[in-house]
Amino acid sequence: MARLILLRHLESQWNKENRFTGWTDVPLSKEGIESAKEVAGKLAGFEIDKVYTSPLIRNKETVRLILENLNKKDLPIIINKALDERNYGELQGLNKDEMKEKYGEEQVRLWRRSWDIAPPKGESLEDVYNRVVPFFREYIEKDLKQGKNILVVASHNSLRALAKYIEKISDEDIVNFEIPPGGIKEYEI
């Protein structure tokens, strides 16, 4: 039986500043970097054969810090844009609380968490699902079927899309699925 571990990147600077990040390439915050040892400690008991991540710096830096803390710097790492965060379109870089004041809390919640509602000129979770899941099926699922233990380090919405696929979460219930920065979700496949 293989294990799949989903790890949301450590806190980024824009997570800390409560901004919509999306495809903007933002580094980890000081606090995010400092949390790496603690998060790696939660993974210490897991055997990991391969790592998948996106090219966004917050994801790649999380991989580097976690693997350094686990003394597993020689693992194969596959980097692919399919695992990038949702594109928040016109909201990228804007403060989430200010957008709630402007558009209303429910509208912002729908843009951030619903299945099929995209922010202006951005992606819905359905759009993210339609790029993440085919990549998962083609590469990660094959590794899992070969008995490899896989760590996927990615952003919130790409991981939410994977969890929706794996757990068969309904379109209505996915709005409540959250993984905090540095959060881990484990599956036995």
- pLDDT tens for 9-54 read 999 999 999 999 999 999 999 999 999 999 999 999 899 999 999 9
pLDDT band at 5 (very low <50, low <70, confident <90, very high): very high
- Active-site residue, selected from the candidate residues 11, 85, 123, 141: 85
The answer to whether the CB of 158 falls within 8 A of the CB of 83 is yes
Q: How many Cβ atoms sit within 10 Å of the Cβ of residue 6?
A: 22
Q: What is the dihedral of CA 64, 181, 97, 118, to 10 degrees?
A: 80
pLDDT at 188: 95
Q: In this predicted model, what pLDDT tens digit does every residue of 117-157 receive, in sequence order? A: 999 999 999 999 999 999 999 999 999 999 999 999 999 99
pLDDT band at 98 (very low <50, low <70, confident <90, very high): very high
The answer to whether the CB of 4 falls within 8 A of the CB of 152 is yes
- Active-site residue, selected from the candidate residues 9, 11, 123, 156: 9
Distance between CA 94 and CA 14 in Å, rounded? 9
Domains of the chain: 3-188 (3.40.50.1240)
Q: What is the mean pLDDT of the chain?
A: 97
pLDDT at 73: 87
- 9 carries an active-site annotation: yes
Distance between CA 55 and CA 167 in Å, rounded? 26
Q: How many Cβ atoms sit within 10 Å of the Cβ of residue 11?
A: 21
The answer to whether the CB of 86 falls within 8 A of the CB of 22 is yes
pLDDT at 85: 97
- 85 carries an active-site annotation: yes
